[in-house]
Structure formats: C-alpha cells, structure tokens
Amino acid sequence: MPEGKDRYIGMNHLYAHETEGVNYTKEWHRHRWRYKTSKNYKDENEIFIMAPHGGGIERGTTELALATAGFTSDFNRHPASAETYDYFIFNGKNPGDQNGSLHVTASNYDDFVANELVQNSVISLAFHGCTDEQPEPNTGEGYKACIIGGLDIAFMTILEYQLHDAGFNARISDQEMLNGDLPDNIINKNKRKTGAQFELTTSFRRSLYDIFDTPIGRKTSTNDDFWLFVNTIRQSIEEYQVLLSA
C-alpha cells in the first residue's frame, strides 16, 4: 500500500494513461454459464478471488490470489483440492519502485470486468499488501501479520480462527486504513454486499517464498507456509459455503 494519494482517480483513468503489456497486465477467469430447458447443470461458480494491486505494486499478492483460486499450472506445487474459483488480477509491470503510481484504492476500482465478476459472486476475497509498520499495533520492521477486513463478519471470523489455529498471526482489524469496511470497496460489492480482504505485511508475504523480490521466481519458490496459508483459506471458504447453504 503506497503512501500518499493515488495518481489516478480510477482504473479507467489509469487505462487511459498507461499502456497494457508495458506498464501493467491483467487477467481474469469466469466459469462458464450454461442453460437449457430441462437440463440440470452445475451452478456457476460464485466465489471470487482478487488481487487488485498485484505484480510489482503489492508483491506476492498475484501468486496468492492465483493459488487460492486454484490456477497453479506453472507453480512448483498445487492446492490440496482441485476446486477452482473466479478471479481478477491486475499486475504492475513498471521497473523498480515505479509501480506505486499504478495503485488505485479499492473504493475507486471501476474496472468493468472486475465489478461484473464480484457482483456475480456470493463469497468474495481480496489480497492486499501493506508495510510492516502500517498495522496498529506493530513491532516495526520484520512484523509478520495477516490483517483481516471487510464487511463479511461471519467469513472474516472463520478466516481469523482457522488461520490463527494454523499458526499465523491473523487478526480482524478496526483500523480505518486497513479494515476494508467501506461499502464502495469493490470486494464488498458481491450479491450480499459484504466481502472480506487481507492486508498482508511485507515481511509476512516475503516469508511465503524462497525467492520474493523477482516475479519470475515467486511461483516456483513457494514454500510450506505459502501452501499452509492458501489451503487454510480454501478450507475456510468451503466451511463458509456450507454455512451459507444451511
């Protein structure tokens, strides 16, 4: 999460001034709709995973979103289950420390596809990154924490319990800068108008990879903690699905 104000007032403003394939890339997946009279098809997937500031903006969030969504063909390992979810990822591709200018706050995230995907979902989860010093309280540089926010209190509670039980420093925060509780936050725009998000400190994200600083190395250097984190999240999603369907 870069310090200061965003350069762009929304994603469409950004797209008008930056070049896809040079300054940024984006990718998404939506499970196919199917309908035919008297035919019973599996319901469309209604779980949405997002990394709105991936690539070089909030490093490590792209890989976490892809793995949580179950798309890991080019990873060194794979999730414990084969289920896949819808996802949207925006990657900053600028050199060095120039990617902060591509950050658009979640409340101004007006990308058409991202909004359509989240509005189709019942459960929505976003991965964000923050510095070690931004959560309150913190222990300064080296602070590893998973800060949980959003409006979906039931889902957030499941995530907090399961991640804490798995050994992660995970907690729900009411800190205004990190709590993700604005209705305009894109992750809260699903069918139930309530989603969840993570703010992951730099040291926490770094701890999930053997190679962190270069994007080429992250997918193929995920470690045991990465997969424990991802599989715990996926188990929490499955648990929440059962709760919602009860």
For the stretch 172-224, pLDDT in tens is 999 999 999 999 999 999 999 999 999 999 999 999 999 999 888 999 999 99
DSSP string spanning 105-124? -GGG---HHHHHHHHT-SEE
Rounded CA separation 66/60 (Å): 10
Q: Where are the domains of the chain?
A: 11-30+43-245
Q: Are strands 196-201 and 146-150 parallel, antiparallel or unpaired?
A: antiparallel
For the stretch 84-109, pLDDT in tens is 999 999 999 999 889 999 999 999 99
> Residue 39 has what pLDDT?
74
> Residue 49 has what pLDDT?
98
For the stretch 69-83, pLDDT in tens is 999 999 999 999 999
At the top level of CATH, the class of 11-30+43-245 is: alpha beta
- pLDDT interval class at 41 (50, 70, 90): low
Beta bridge partners of 51: 89
Rounded CA separation 237/232 (Å): 9
Q: How far is CA 108 from the centre of its chain?
A: 16
Q: Is the full-model pTM beyond 0.85?
A: yes
Q: Does residue 1 surpass a pLDDT of 70?
A: no
> Residue 37 has what pLDDT?
72
Rounded CA separation 195/187 (Å): 5
Eight-state DSSP code of residue 11: H
Q: Does residue 152 surpass a pLDDT of 90?
A: yes
> Residue 42 has what pLDDT?
66
In this structure, the number of other CB atoms found within 10 A of the CB of residue 73 comes to 7
